[in-house]
């Protein structure tokens, strides 16, 4: 299971890049299979694991007491459960034939270390892809999502009241349907973010893409990641190193 850990600030474009990386790897896997033989099974299987695929809500990251319902056990128990679910999902597909892209905040260095050790135990490489984005731009994305949700809620209220023509009220036609973070949750996640450090074993090799990087630059970085996890530069991993 070569493992690629995607990390970055909330709403910085992680899922967008993770999907692009997934598409790029799918292309590479398909072309390798075709080159080898028209009937051969692909050398790798590909998995994209994220909060969305595991049904994890944004609110699990919320440590602000005012936002927590009375029945929630403790401030970050739900986040620990979420991490356990992600860890389980990654572990379930562990095998040297399975490439796993873990799209998420992955903001705690101890968590990235744990994932690195898991890959190492499986004698398979890991890499980190950091999504670089200014705090202001990332905040803007979350605010736009919050605004969209407010509009949708007010449209729903108008519709409930059966205002004539209200069903056409929503003129927002972009296809971004992701849930926003509550503002305090978002701020807190930015505050808690532990930047990857390429000097540490568990954050290396470290690759970076920034918001402004175009398709050609993205493909260039994806090709380098491919090389490390599945290509020429793939190293033999020994658990005791």
C-alpha–C-alpha distance, residues 126 and 174, integer Å: 35
13 vs 125 by CB, closer to ligand ADP:
13
Is beta strand 206-210 parallel, antiparallel or unpaired with respect to 126-132? parallel
Judged by CB under 6 A, the stretch of 7-15, 27-35, 37-45, 68-76 that binds ligand ADP is 7-15
Three-class secondary structure of residue 113 per DSSP: helix
Torsion sign (Cα): 96, 99, 104, 109: positive
Give the neighbor-by-neighbor strand order of the sheet with 45-50: 45-50, 98-103, 3-8, 126-132, 206-210
Question: Of 16, 20, 200, 204, which lies in the binding site for ligand ADP, with binding defined by CB under 6 A?
Answer: 16
Contact code string over 49-88 relative to ligand ADP, x by CB under 6 A: ----------------------------------------
Which residue is at the shortest CB distance from ligand ADP?
Answer: 13
104 vs 125 by CB, closer to ligand ADP:
104
**Site for ligand ADP, residues 145 to 184, rule: CB under 6 A:** 176, 178
Three-class secondary structure of residue 232 per DSSP: coil
Site residues (vs ligand ADP, CB under 6 A): 8, 10-16, 141, 176, 178, 211
């Amino acid at each position: 299971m070569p493992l690629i850990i995607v990390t970055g600030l909330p709403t910085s474009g992680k899922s967008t890049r993770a999907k692009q990386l997934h598409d790029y790897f799918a292309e590479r896997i398909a072309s390798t299979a075709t080159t080898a033989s028209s009937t051969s099974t692909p050398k790798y299987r590909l998995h994209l694991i994220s909060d969305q695929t595991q049904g994890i809500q944004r609110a699990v990251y919320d440590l602000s007491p005012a936002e927590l319902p009375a029945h929630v056990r403790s401030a970050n128990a739900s986040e620990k459960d979420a991490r356990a679910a992600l860890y389980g999902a990654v572990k379930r597909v562990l095998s040297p034939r399975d490439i796993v892209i873990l799209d998420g905040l992955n903001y705690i260095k101890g968590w990235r270390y744990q994932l690195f050790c898991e890959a190492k135990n499986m004698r398979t490489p890991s890499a980190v892809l950091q999504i670089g984005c200014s705090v202001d731009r990332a905040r803007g994305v979350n605010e736009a999502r919050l605004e969209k949700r407010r509009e949708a809620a007010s449209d729903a209220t108008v519709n409930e009241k059966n205002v004539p023509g209200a069903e056409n009220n929503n003129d927002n036609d972009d296809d971004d349907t992701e849930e926003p973070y509550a503002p305090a949750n978002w701020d807190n996640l930015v505050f808690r973010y532990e930047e990857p450090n390429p000097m540490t074993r568990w954050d290396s090799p470290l690759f970076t893409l920034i918001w402004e990087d175009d398709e050609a630059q993205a493909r260039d970085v994806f090709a380098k990641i491919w090389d490390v996890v599945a290509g020429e530069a793939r190293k033999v991993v020994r658990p005791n190193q």
